Structure 1
Amino acid sequence: MFGNVFKGRKVLVTGHTGFKGSWLSLWLTALGAEVIGYSAYFPSTPCNFKVCGLDKHVTHVEGDIGNLNMLTNVFKKYKPEIVFHLAAQPIVRESYRNPKLTFDTNIGGTVNILECIRSTTSVKAAVIITSDKCYRNMEWVWGYKENDILGGDDPYSASKGCAEIICNSYIKSFFSDRKNLPRIATARAGNVIGGGDWAVDRIVPDSVRAFSEGKQVVIRNPNATRPWQHVLEPLSGYLWLAAHLLNSPRLHGEAFNFGPDHKVDKSVAELLTDFSAYWSGKAKCKLVNKRDNRKESMLLKLSCDKALNLLDWSATLPFEDTIRFTAEWYTSYYRGKKGMFDYSMAQIKDYTNKALETNNAWARGVFND
């Protein structure tokens, strides 16, 4: 899969202790990459990185993405060929509580990564991950395209819009020659669910904590609609995009949305109804129809036509499997299953097999050039 481009290569993942970063590190390990992870802290207790024992499989470096000197030393020491930048302050509501930290991390951290890439000769390809919330949200019923206006009213969304603008500036100013390395692209995705996420102010982790303790979960904005997708969906896009950057200069400087089919645009209430069914009557929910106008938008969709046309990428899982993969991971963990590393690897294999069944290009390893 992925054209076998990651085997034996040094890959730097910033934010590797986070939800998406830990799953990406798992997958890269399965692909035979030598993974170097750079993160400031473990984001939650429990933490997927620790639950899966990833410290036994990757090089773990503890450091702040805002510390340019330390980050530079990591690039010099490990000489990564591929970079995935995921380190961020990822929570919208937290960005209201701590806007400066959010801007410092999400904007300053992106600048630092690009500076390190600019000053090294080892990097051949880099994917900078931002967010679907980088767009100016107009509450449209259609999906945002990559050339739509960037924006963001809350600090988190604004920081991600800024990160996209900064990437474009660096690419045009310092990496404009498509024939030369490194090649850089940005990726936008959001509303990702899956096993191993215990972040606060997210619907699935908040529900899991409540269900596992026999408590009631209070759900805000149950009618809000989101393009829910399993964590492996956008990660397959990130990996396939990086593989294309290594293979050809054609996609250098491009931005890509990675999201599910619009049939998977479900409300929070619909998500919770299906997810809670896996908890054997232990799920207690209270839906609160009181919108906090300052916090989050009610409607958000992405158009992924560009990824389909240029990468031959599309989402693999129907909504039912997205819920099943997620719920089965959590219920296995809370029933005391040991070896969550192996269990997670098995889910990656299962997901890959489903992608082969749907003839997804990345699973076949066939480049769309």
Structure 2
Amino acid sequence: MGFKDKNILITGISGFVGSRMARVLVDRGANVCGLLRRRADGKAPHNLMRLGLGKEVRIIEGDLESISSIGSAITASEPDIIFHLAAQSFVPRSFVDPNETMLCNCWGTSNLLEAIRVKDVSPVVVFAGSSEEYGLVLSSEEQYKRALEKYGTIFPVPEHIPEVPISETNPLRPMSPYAVSKVYGDYLMRNYWYSYGIPTVISRAFNHEGAGRGNMFVTSVATSQVMRLKLGEADAITIGNVNAFRDWSH
């Protein structure tokens, strides 16, 4: 798909992915708008400034928890495509405050789709799902046995083991409030296509990294510890589950 002269609305434009997506789209000739909560200092977000986007994207103040402000943003931007990236995306935080995650990720996604339906417009909506939706993926009979002992039941019941490599048809077994919120958004996107004809595209990205990634995420945690080790400020590197398998993109 060509993006030249397309009107693009990005939710979560100030984030790691949103800001880089904006840079790519601007370079390809798109007219980019970003939905952003009002900042007290009135300045453009750091990620946008760092990528030279302070004056190249139009910021529209709004909040995904307010359907009226989303409607205003849609009217102002007249989008051909909406990239819905805004989310509470830190898995550990979702365990600390699951309600915050649900308000942002579930209610916000519902408001976006409902605003589109009420406005009677039909931009393509690209939803940023997550590999976390797959959750418990069974790689061996032994793992399945341990999971049954721990949880009592596994649903959906595996049709075959191992379930790797993961494909789009793998069962969804979300294991965190964040993952549940993304499954909700995934199915809601499908429902608004089936029920109302709103064109939606669902992605389930795995880990993505690069300069500017938040320092709470795994690669930043590891690299910062390596640097501290090199500088003599630490004598060990502490990492969580070293048996996890992930795809990575840059």
Residue in 2 that maps onto 1:76: 75
Quote the Cα distance in structure 2 between the aligned partners of 1:47 and 1:151.
Answer: 36
Residue in 1 that maps onto 2:204: 188
Q: Does 1:165 align with 2:187?
A: yes
- Aligned pairs (5 A) from 1:121-132: 121-132=120-131
Counterpart AA for 1:128: F
Counterpart AA for 1:127: V
How far off its partner does 1:121 sit? Answer: 4.6
How far off its partner does 1:161 sit? Answer: 1.0
Residue in 2 that maps onto 1:204: 219
Q: Does 1:12 align with 2:9?
A: yes
SS class of match (2:202): strand
- Aligned pairs (5 A) from 1:2-41: 2=1, 5-40=2-37
How far off its partner does 1:78 sit? Answer: 1.8
Identity across the alignment (%): 30
Maintained 8 Å contact 2:38/2:61: yes
Maintained 8 Å contact 1:83/1:123: no
Quote the Cα distance in structure 2 between the aligned partners of 1:99 and 1:19.
Answer: 22
- Aligned pairs (5 A) from 1:143-292: 143-175=165-197, 182-200=198-216, 202-210=217-225, 214=231, 215-216=233-234, 218-230=238-250
SS class of match (1:139): coil
Quote the Cα distance in structure 1 between the aligned partners of 2:238 and 2:94.
Answer: 21
Quote the Cα distance in structure 2 between the aligned partners of 1:223 and 1:149.
Answer: 21
How far off its partner does 1:117 sit? Answer: 2.0
Q: Hey, which bits of structure 1, 4+ residues long, moved more than 6 A? A: none
How far off its partner does 1:168 sit? Answer: 1.7
Quote the Cα distance in structure 1 between the aligned partners of 2:120 and 2:13.
Answer: 23
Maintained 8 Å contact 2:207/2:246: yes
Query: CA 1:210–1:53 in structure 2 vs 1: closer, same or farther (change >3 Å)?
Result: farther
Counterpart AA for 2:58: T
Q: Which has the higher helix share?
A: 1
Counterpart AA for 1:173: S
Query: CA 1:75–1:208 in structure 2 vs 1: closer, same or farther (change >3 Å)?
Result: same
Residue in 1 that maps onto 2:146: none
How far off its partner does 1:210 sit? Answer: 4.8
How far off its partner does 1:219 sit? Answer: 2.1
TM-score normalised by the chain length of structure 1: 0.54
Deviations 1:78-122 (A, max 9, x none): 211111101001111111111101111111111111112213355
Counterpart AA for 1:221: N
Unaligned runs of 5+ in 1: 176-181, 231-369
Counterpart AA for 2:56: H
Unaligned runs of 5+ in 2: 40-44, 140-161
- Aligned pairs (5 A) from 1:297-336: none
Q: What value does the CA root-mean-square deviation take over the aligned residues?
A: 2.3
How far off its partner does 1:47 sit? Answer: 4.5
How far off its partner does 1:169 sit? Answer: 1.7
